[in-house]
């Protein structure tokens, strides 16, 4: 890049100061960021990260703000990722390789693939947020996780300003987990993700209410478009819409426990809900545990537990991030007391 081009980037990229983040997080928390910018190319990210003024202050990358709880003003540089673009990179006998910019809306990428009959992402329809955040917690829904379809990703090392490529294995994916939430936390900005999609789609209708919904839709020869539509219908009917009521989806992960713990719980609480993970472990439905502790539909000020989904914490108006965090701690404590099970937050706390 020439000096002139560098100057051009610097001038073009607006850096705002002390701005409210209310419109940038689905909890609608009115926290402030000291500095805020929306880079839309890798070069713009590199440019701003190399600026002297920002060298020694905290940095945080934001996508759609649908998995974050701001508990304080952010006294640093907040970068909203705006890198766009979706393209078919290559194909081989069995797969299409689709690359998307990290600032793309996730559901738009799903729709791009569904409309072209590239199989694999349809069960993940309508998950809010951006492409770049997907790998952070290995988004999942209706029996599919991103790790099943992610080929590789590119990410910018914040300190070095260089792009690294991570294979699927290098991301160390787990249940709502990846290397980016653990040993590499806060060190990389994901700039693009490449998905490996099936030329012959495998239809996954077993999970949740998909089959029932397909029946209600009177579908005969099921396609991935139908599955996507069924998932959208179910999600729209079940989950609170953040445009109407502030929330970040499931606030807690479903805890995994050893099978003998599950068996003991089952003796005490015959209705306890669990799903087999493998021979030795069972995943408990966190929503059921929370509901049994009497939290469903309760409010403390403007912070509350959704009246239909005990797993979803909500902001009914002007709740502060800390109030929602305190409510979540009370829930964690009461579930621990009643069932001896530790709930872990799924939402990122800042």
Ligand X SMILES: Cc1cc2nc3c(=O)[nH]c(=O)nc-3n(C[C@H](O)[C@H](O)[C@H](O)COP(=O)(O)OP(=O)(O)OC[C@H]3O[C@@H](n4cnc5c(N)ncnc54)[C@H](O)[C@@H]3O)c2cc1C
Q: Which residues bind ligand X (CB under 6 A)?
A: 26, 60-68, 81, 102, 127-130, 132-134, 136-137, 139-141, 188-190, 239, 242, 247-249, 348
Q: How far is the CB of 230 from ligand X (least distance, A)?
A: 14
* The two structure tokens encoding residue 314: 């909500």
Distance CA 274, CA 96 (A): 36
Looking at beta carbons only, is 132 or 304 nearer to ligand X? 132
Task: Spot the catalytic one: 130, 192, 250, 328.
Answer: 250
> Could you tell me how far CA 70 lies from the centroid of its own chain?
15
- Shortest Cβ 270–ligand X spacing (Å): 28
Q: How far is the CB of 62 from ligand X (least distance, A)?
A: 4
Distance, CA of 199 to CA of 124 (rounded, Å): 18
98 or 347: whose CB is closer to ligand X?
Answer: 347
**Closer to ligand X at the Cβ: 248 or 343?**
248
Catalytic residue among 176, 213, 235, 256: 176
- Residue 332: which of 301, 305, 309 has the closest Cα? 305
Asked if 346 is an active-site residue, the reply is yes
89, 131, 181, 304 from 194: Cα distances, Å = 8, 10, 20, 38
Tokens of 273: 């809900």
Provide the minimum distance between the beta carbon of 147 and ligand X in the complex, in angstroms, as a whole number.
11
Q: Indicate if 250 belongs to the active site.
A: yes
Decide if 239 contacts 131 (C-beta within 8 A): no
CB closer to ligand X, 265 vs 327: 327
Distance CA 119, CA 207 (A): 17
Alpha-carbon distance of 42 to 270, in angstroms, equals 54
184 vs 334, which CB is nearer to ligand X? 184
Asked whether 282 and 262 are in contact (CB, 8 A), the reply is yes
In the complex, the smallest distance separating the C-beta of residue 26 from ligand X, rounded to whole angstroms, is: 5
Question: What are the residue numbers of the active site?
Answer: 176, 250, 346
């Amino acid at each position: 890049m020439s000096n002139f081009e560098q100057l051009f980037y610097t001038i073009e990229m607006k850096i705002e100061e002390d701005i409210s983040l209310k419109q940038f997080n689905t909890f609608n928390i009115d926290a402030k960021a000291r500095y805020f910018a929306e880079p839309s190319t890798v070069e713009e990210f590199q440019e701003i990260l190399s600026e002297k003024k920002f060298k020694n202050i905290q940095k945080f990358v934001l996508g759609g703000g649908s998995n974050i709880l701001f508990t304080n003003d952010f006294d640093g540089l907040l970068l909203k990722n705006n890198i766009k673009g979706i393209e078919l990179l290559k194909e081989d006998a069995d797969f299409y390789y689709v690359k998307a910019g990290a600032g793309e809306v996730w559901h738009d990428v799903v729709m791009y693939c569904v409309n072209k009959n590239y199989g694999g992402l349809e069960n993940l329809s309508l998950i809010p947020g951006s492409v770049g955040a997907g790998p952070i917690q290995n988004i999942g829904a209706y029996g599919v996780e991103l790790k099943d379809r992610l080929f590789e990703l590119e990410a910018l090392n914040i300190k070095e300003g260089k792009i690294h490529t991570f294979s699927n294995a290098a991301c160390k994916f787990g249940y709502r987990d990846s290397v980016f939430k653990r040993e590499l936390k806060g060190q990389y900005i994901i700039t693009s993700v490449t998905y490996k999609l099936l030329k012959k789609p495998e239809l996954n209708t077993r999970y949740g209410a998909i089959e029932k919904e397909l029946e209600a839709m009177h579908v005969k020869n099921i396609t991935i478009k139908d599955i996507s539509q069924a998932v959208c219908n179910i999600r729209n009917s079940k989950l609170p819409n953040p445009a109407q009521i502030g929330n970040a989806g499931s606030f807690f992960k479903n805890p995994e426990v050893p099978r003998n713990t599950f068996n003991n719980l089952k003796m005490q609480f015959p209705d306890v809900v669990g799903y087999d993970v493998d021979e030795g472990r069972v995943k408990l439905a966190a929503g059921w545990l929370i509901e049994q502790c009497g939290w469903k539909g309760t409010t403390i000020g403007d912070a509350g537990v959704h009246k239909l989904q005990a797993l979803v914490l909500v902001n009914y108006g002007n709740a502060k991030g800390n109030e929602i965090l305190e409510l979540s701690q009370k829930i964690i404590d009461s579930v621990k007391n009643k069932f001896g099970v530790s709930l872990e937050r799924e939402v990122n706390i800042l």
